[in-house]
Amino acid sequence: MTAPGPFNLATTYLRLRADNSAEALHVDAQFWPRLMSGALGTFHRESLVTMISFDATWKSWEMHPNGDEIVCLLSGRVSMVLEIDGREIVAKLAKPGDYVLVPRGTWHTARTSTNCTMVFITPGEGTQNRAS
């Protein structure tokens, strides 16, 4: 059994499994390459909980075909842009706790020019990316 914590979501992400169990995933320089290579599994019917800080508009769009994503603002300001029926729908997140539900299969990106921190609950299996 893994120690129950304490953990910090900036350095230890969470895998939420279909059986309602959770696994702490240490974040290091190799985390994203391991995740993208499949070394951490397929995330079939699982979600990844992350906390990420950034200060610029994303350089890509992403889409999650196997579930809705929850994106919650902790600090800063950000516009989440969702592509729905060929149009860009903008959800402005301005205060801590504001969040958006990104429907399954919806391309989305983030636009900001200020420091912000967000929590993402992402159904990871089959995630796709494309350039902005």
50-97 pLDDT per residue, tens: 999 999 999 999 999 999 999 999 999 999 999 999 999 999 999 999
The model carries a pTM of 0.93
Q: Please report, as a single letter, which amino acid is at residue 62.
A: E
Q: What is the spatial distance between Cα 37 and Cα 83, in angstroms, rounded to a whole number?
A: 27
Pair of tokens at residue 15 = 């895998």
Check residue 67 and give its pLDDT: 96
Place of tokens 């900036």: 10
Model confidence over 106-126: pLDDT tens digits? 999 999 999 999 999 999 898
- 132 Cβ neighbours under 8 A, 6+ residues apart: 57, 58, 59, 60, 61, 109
Domains of the chain by start residue, with CATH: 12-125 (2.60.120.10)
Residue 65, φ and ψ in degrees, nearest 5: -75, -10
